[in-house]
Amino acid sequence: MYHTKTLIGTLLFILLSLTLLLQSSLSPTLISTSLHKSTNLFQPTPSSIPNIVHFVHLVGSKQTTSLDLPFRQFIAIYSAWYYLKPSNIFIHTDIPDNDIQHKIENTKSPYTRAIANIPGVQFKYHAPITETSTGNTIHELPNQSDFVRTDVLQHYGGIYLDDDAYVLRDLSPLRNLPYQNIVGRQGGGQICPAVLLAAPHNKLMSAYHALQDRIFDGEWQTHATTLLTALVRDFQNPDGQVLVLDQETFFPLSWMHDDLVTLYGVNEHSVVDDDKVGDNRSTPMENLTEFVENFYLQGLRESWKRDWRLSYVMHGWTTSLTRDLERLEEEDVFGEFGEGITLEYVLAGRSNFAVAVGRAVRHAVERGVLDHVGNMSTVFGGGEEEKGGELRSLV
């Protein structure tokens, strides 16, 4: 028995020695190459989403002598410039190049002139898309805008924003991720095309642009949200094609009435002095001890105030806001700011909307960008008219 155990031990020792000898004889180059390939899996290169911003503003057959843009559109464009510092902000329009400057000079809206003077802003002509290749007429301007959106994104790449999508912080951390497209969910889980980040000439955006032409049926959602949601599922598997972010990132509230009240409703007191969007407490990275000592659950002190710190963009759901206007007026949602989204309403800081966009608007005021505005304020509607000697807002 003793000799048997000794023999087994000797054989195990020889086997172990041969294994170690074999490992030591492996080529260092092969080992290094293997490690290098493994490391690359965790160090992807950033995507090529350029830092340029796209808005679309079509007027269709309603060509007038002036271009009158509302205050909420100024907020959207100025916020994009303030937080993103893009190389260009393109406002794609069906107004011809030789006419756009004339319309800006003749505008009744001071916000049009303010927008035109934002660094990097360029009104860029885009031929109207009024018919699909299958012969379907595209009657509605919002639907025509959808086709312009995908056309410019698949060609130029960059950041597309609806004109009621308000940037709340720098998007560079998202743009620099190794994805060709970055999209977000809206309430209900569908992918909403009101905010899109895309690299130029990428496959998903090219497919989106081509397919919406084929499936357009005149409805609001089929060629837009429904199609994009389906394509995102199809393009999930290819590496780096698309990253889907949760609702809080781009569309933190919905178009439903209660959410509109939460977003726009005027409250009794202001939080305009807050230094940060969402909260002014110390962060755990700044001072962990102070953070723990002063921690309280959000909402216990400011019951109406929403925390925006997880949101990069806030969509304002202007179409739903306009449709719901009569009910909102009955509920006195805008309080003494009955006309809605005015400069005074934002500076008062008494709504979640005002808190979210307030920093960018105050920056514009401090720089003198809005000095020429005076008491002229427009709401979320489509222009202004003279009534009783004063400018009255339309929705």
Q: For residue 121, count CB atoms less than 10 angstroms from its CB and return exposed for 0-12, middle for 13-18, buried for 19 or more.
A: buried
Q: How many CB atoms lie within 10 A of CB 275?
A: 7
Gap between the Cα atoms of 182 and 162, Å rounded: 15
Core vs surface per residue 125-148: b (16+ CB within 10 A) or e: ebebbeebeeeeebeebebbbbbb
Helix then strand then coil, % of the chain, to nearest 5: 40, 15, 45
Measured in whole angstroms, the distance separating CA 302 from the mean position of its chain's CA atoms is: 26
389 forms bridges with which residues in the sheet?
A: none
Residue 54 sits at φ, ψ, to 5 deg, of: -125, 125
Residue 60 sits at φ, ψ, to 5 deg, of: 60, -135
Please report the pLDDT score of residue 151 as a whole number.
97
Gap between the Cα atoms of 200 and 210, Å rounded: 15
User: What's 52-249's CATH class?
Assistant: alpha beta
Residue 70 sits at φ, ψ, to 5 deg, of: -80, 170
Gap between the Cα atoms of 255 and 310, Å rounded: 19
- The answer for residues whose C-beta is within 8 angstroms of residue 69's C-beta and 6 or more apart is 57, 107, 109, 111, 112, 115
pLDDT < 50 stretches in the chain: 2, 20-44, 273-280, 300, 375-395
The amino acid at 324: D
Q: Which two tokens stand for residue 58?
A: 């079509």
Q: What DSSP designation does 66 have?
A: S
Gap between the Cα atoms of 66 and 99, Å rounded: 10
Three-state DSSP class for residue 91: strand
Three-state DSSP class for residue 219: coil
Q: Which two tokens stand for residue 210?
A: 């081509």
Please report the pLDDT score of residue 389 as a whole number.
27
Q: State the Rg of the chain over Cα.
A: 27
Core vs surface per residue 4-17: b (16+ CB within 10 A) or e: eeeeeeeeeeeeee
- Helix then strand count (H, E) for the chain reads 16, 11
Q: For residue 88, count CB atoms less than 10 angstroms from its CB and return exposed for 0-12, middle for 13-18, buried for 19 or more.
A: middle
Please report the pLDDT score of residue 34 as a whole number.
30
Gap between the Cα atoms of 232 and 192, Å rounded: 11
Domain locations along the chain = 52-249, 257-393
pTM of the model: 0.80
Three-state DSSP class for residue 64: coil
Please report the pLDDT score of residue 325 as a whole number.
83
Instruction: Report the alpha-carbon angle 218-59-142, nearest 5.
Output: 30
139 forms bridges with which residues in the sheet?
A: none
Gap between the Cα atoms of 226 and 193, Å rounded: 10
